[in-house]
A and B are shown apart, each in its own frame.
Chain A
Amino acid sequence: MKLNELTITEAREGLKNKKFSSSELTRACLEQIEKHDAKINAFITVCKKQAIEQAKEADKLLSNGAMEQWSNLPLLGIPIALKDLYSTKDIKTTAGSKVLKDYSPVYDATVVKKLKDAGAVIIGKTNLDAWAHGSSGENSDFGPTKNPWNQEYVPGGSSSGSAAALAADMYLAATGTDTGGSIRLPASFCNLVGLKPTYGRVSRYGIIAMASSLDSIGHLAKTVEDSALLLNITAGNDVFDATTPKKPVPDYQKGLQKGIKELKIGIPKEYLQTGLDEKVKENFEDTKRILSRLGANLIEVSLPHTEYAIACYYIIQPAEVSSNLERYDGIRFGNDRSFFTDEAKRRIMLGTFTLSAGYYEAYYKKAMQVRTLIKKDFEDAFVKVDALIAPVSPTPSWKLGEKVDDPLKMYLSDVFTVTANLAGIPALAVPSGFINGLPVGIQILGPQFSEELLFQVGFAYEQATEWYKRKAILNL
């Protein structure tokens, strides 16, 4: 096995036992990038020089016997990438938009600081739909990202680069953001584990905002174990983000092996009605069988307001987008407003309209009321069951260009994911197999701050299926 194909847990073991150095590991990743990224287009910026420097630093610590610090440096020497919404001091941060083509932040996002403090090697900044507006990665002003499993297909968005490059083994993990499914969708389209934490569990400070009441800061990893390790680092109260509660952070890796015997897992019936691809439905039936075999009690539940979720989401999200994008005026940094492209303009117009005097009550306010009902649906369900499972997407990945002219069709690919954002609950996407050679995934949803439970279910399912062991074959 090549070094760049390792999981974080495996690489840590190798570094600890001096089987290889961080420099070797980092170089293997950089070589993979050089070999394949011209086609995949997963990176906006590759930080080659800095990465090599950071790897050398890590090796110095390792050879100086930093083993006593080992538990404080869970990412020591591990190459990871950041979605290009994460502010990185002195490293270009574009949000996938030409508006910020040459913008270099003066500060690191809180999560970036935490990852660096944990010893991570930052290998680069990944491509995304501009401003995270999109489900396919095609809205990037820096060109679309391709799916490593089939380069004619989209990798899912908006954390498109983070997912595609990880599936192509260009690093060991990457950060993402999930406002309506932007981590879970690409995770499922690329055979990866994607975590959308509880709203407020991870600090948003320094991460370019899309829709502030929905934005969740998560990550993509190869395995559930790696995902839990990353959340151990990123979670917690931040004095720079007033929406992060002072809730203690548990050790998310601790309960992985508990199994799911006797757990009550709900199946929301509304998710299996209209618009679900037949093959995805079959795949989901397989998942249910596996979970039953592992000892879980599957119970059908109802989330009656599901049908209003997309409409509700597409009022609240553009409203907040229209306000959040106001600062990009070209006065203090970045280019002027003529650099905004279609999707951002569409959302600015939608949001400006729905917040206008005379329309606010009919749109934004009404949507906020529906949001409360959707939240209550979940609260009611979690009285009956411990967690819920559902497909991440109603279809597998689609061909590049297939939906670009039909924004509504594109929006509907988020029909199963936006609900978790509206309710502020956590969701973990885990690979569930393949349809015509393209990966699909399921998501596990739980009450707020139930990430431990999600990892526990995800790990049991992953160990039973081992889809993560399958690798995309990249042709040169």
Chain B
Amino acid sequence: MNKTKYQPVIGLEVHVELKTKSKMFCGCSAQYFGKEPNTHVCPVCLGLPGALPVPNNKAMEWCVMIGLALNCKIPLVSKFDRKNYFYPDLPKGYQISQYDEPIARNGSLKLKIKNEKLKNNLEKTIRIRRVHLEEDTAKLIHQFGNQKSKIKNQKYEEFSLIDFNRSGVPLVEIVSEPDFESALEVVEYLKKLQQIVRYLDVSNADMEKGEMRLEPNISLREISNVKFQIINYKVEVKNINSFRFVEKAIDYELKRQEELLKREETPVQETRGWDENKQKTISQRSKEEAHDYRYFPEPDIPPVHWTGNQISNIKNQIEELPSEKLERFKKEYGLNDYDAEILTRDKTTADYFEEAVKIGAGHMIAPKQIANVVINKKIDISSTLPAHLITQIASSKQTATLSDEALEKIITQIVDENPKAVEDYKKGKSNALMFLVGQVIRKYPKKIDAGGLRERMEKMLQ
């Protein structure tokens, strides 16, 4: 066994299904989830003889929008290509995709990576190679055993059914450079990406519904003095449908590959799949079996030409993105990083918070206080109107402020009585603070807002 150290080199391909009304190349409804099989179909998405694709303008604009949100360049000319391969879920025998002239290229996404050891956040930029548009395939449903076969002279048969409702739904593929060094970074990136497409309101990016699909490619590089060491293999992992699985699959792969390399074997270049039951990746297709897709320009669709004006119009449609909103919340409302991050995680919560702040201003309620309530009390924002929330806060505030002096007295008393807890808290045990808060509430005769109290004690103990 050698003792060489290795560094992970990970790249990501992410597919995001757009939530356009109609499919990518025909007028069929793209809202196929849970619909009766083969009811959202027409000659185009069934690949019938003579049918032709006509690109969906909305999907093209949304792809540009995603590209812009990821700081990409948008070339003024782009084109579609045919990716040829045979599979029953691909009715035409080719997928209309984009090969060498994608809608967007050369972008980047900034991540904040938590460093457990140093207890701080490191900033890291992941480069985005390209963002392109393509069509989804049909869905295969595999039936096993005890099914009456429709094939002559065969009573029982294992067979597969094809549902073409998903065939032709617009997909955006986002390809990163191999800039990730850990599963943690990958997950952070995915969360960010999901958040962005949801903010743009172009995809629900629901993993469980298959609206967002992930394919990491994973290699290991020797840590050595050689700066540009060539890596001669790459393992792609497919069929991952949750952030948790992607983390597990990457960690598993890194370990597996390291073991091989330590035995001085080169891992096979191949495609593997994540098996959640076995908790491991399983080989699916080796390099020799890899497809030759015979890409060539799609003759049925003329090249796409954008004008600078069109691009800036699309740019103007992009509202504040999560990272901008987070910074603004910190600055405008005096929130800390943690609170601002939680409140901007999704746009609905962020909008709710801002609405409440607006109303709260009339009641002399500080944004920070509203943030505390929304975050700590886990307010159900779908059932509590912002105005109602403010009323609640106002009344609890009243009870607390009325006996401010009495409260002060109790707090001082509790702090004095519990020097161990105070010391623990100062060492970093946040539980200790919650214990102290609990003690105060118990002593205090009236109802009191725990969030406000916690904040107050935090300040006091600093």
**Interface residue ranges, A against B (CB under 8 Å):** 85-87, 93, 95, 100, 103, 105-107, 109, 204-209, 211-213, 239-243, 319-320, 322-323, 325-329, 331-333, 352, 355-357, 360, 364
B48 touches A105 (CB 8 A): yes
Bound complex: CA A208 to CA B300 (Å): 13
Chain A residues with Cβ below 8 Å from B82 are: 323
Residues of B contacting A100 in the complex (Cβ-Cβ under 8 angstroms)? 49
Q: Count A-B contacts at CB 8 Å.
A: 99
Contacting residue for B86 out of A103, A109, A326, CB 8 A: A326
Instruction: Identify A356's interface contact among B52, B91, B292, CB under 8 A.
Output: B292
Q: A87-B50, A239-B54, A331-B88 are in contact. Are A357 and B292 (CB under 8 A)?
A: yes
B53 contacts the other chain (Cβ, under 8 Å)?
Answer: yes
Q: Given A107-B43, A212-B300, A327-B93, are A240 and B294 also a contact pair (CB < 8 Å)?
A: no
Task: Pick the residue among A85, A333, A355 that contacts B48 (CB under 8 A).
Answer: A333
Q: Which 4 A-B pairs have the closest CB atoms?
A: A326-B93, A213-B299, A355-B294, A212-B299
The residue of chain B having its C-beta at the shortest distance from the C-beta of A203 within the complex is B52
Bound-state Cα–Cα, A323 to B92, Å: 9
User: With A105-B49, A242-B52 as given contacts, are A326 and B43 in contact (CB-CB < 8 Å)?
Assistant: no
**Cα-based distance from A109 to B82 in the complex (angstroms):** 23
**Residues of B12-69 whose CB lies within 8 A of A:** 43, 46-55
The minimal Cβ–Cβ distance linking B75 to chain A, given in whole angstroms, is 19
**B444 close to A (CB within 8 Å):** no
Q: Provided the pairs A326-B86, A331-B162, A355-B84 are in contact, do residues A243 and B49 lie with their beta carbons within 8 angstroms?
A: no
Question: In whole angstroms, how far apart are the Cα atoms of A58 and B96 in the complex?
Answer: 43
Q: How many residues of B contact A (CB 8 A)?
A: 28
Give chain A nearest CB distance to B188 CB in angstroms.
Answer: 35
Which residues of the partner chain A approach B50 to less than 8 Å between Cβ atoms? 85-87, 105, 109, 204-209
Q: Is B302 an interface residue (CB 8 A)?
A: yes
User: Is B6 part of the contact surface with A, judged by Cβ < 8 Å?
Assistant: no
**Cβ–Cβ contact A356 & B294, under 8 A:** yes
B294 engages A242 (CB within 8 Å): no
- Given A85-B50, A105-B43, A243-B301, output 5 extra A-B contacts at Cβ < 8 Å: A95-B49, A105-B48, A243-B299, A323-B294, A326-B94
Q: Chain A interface secondary structure, helix, strand, loop or mixed?
A: loop
Q: Within 8 Å of chain A (Cβ to Cβ): is B435?
A: no
Whether B302 pairs with A208 at a CB distance below 8 angstroms is: no
Query: How far is the CB of A180 from the nearest CB of chain B, in Å?
Result: 15
Chain A nearest Cβ from B254, distance in angstroms: 30
Question: Known: A204-B52, A327-B93. Contact between A332 and B302, CB under 8 A?
Answer: no
Interface members, chain B 65-108 (any A CB < 8 Å) = 82, 84, 86, 88, 91-94
Please, how many angstroms separate the alpha-carbon atoms of A360 and B295 in the complex?
Answer: 9
Residues in chain B near residue A105, CB distance under 8 A: 43, 48-50
B296 within 8 A of A: yes
Query: Once the chains are docked, how many angstroms separate the CA of A290 from the CA of B401?
Result: 109
Q: Which listed residue, B51, B55, B84, B86, touches A242 by the CB 8 Å rule? A: B55
How distant is the Cα of A205 from the Cα of B52 in the complex, in angstroms?
Answer: 6
Minimum CB distance partner of A353 in chain B? B294
Distance of B60 from chain A, by nearest CB (Å): 12
- The interface residues of chain A lying within 8 Å CB-to-CB of B52 are 204-205, 240-242
A326 near B54 with CB under 8 A, answer no
Contact A106 B48, CB 8 Å, known A242-B55, A329-B86 = yes
Q: Kindly name the residue among B47, B50, B84, B91 whose own CB sees the greatest number of chain A CB atoms within 10 A.
A: B50
Closest Cβ of chain B to A236, distance in Å, is 15
Q: Nearest-CB distance from B296 to chain A (Å)? A: 6
Q: Is B91 in contact with A327, judged by CB distance below 8 angstroms?
A: yes
Q: How far is the CA of A352 from the CA of B82 in the complex (A)?
A: 13
> How many angstroms from the CA of A207 to the CA of B52 in the assembled complex?
9
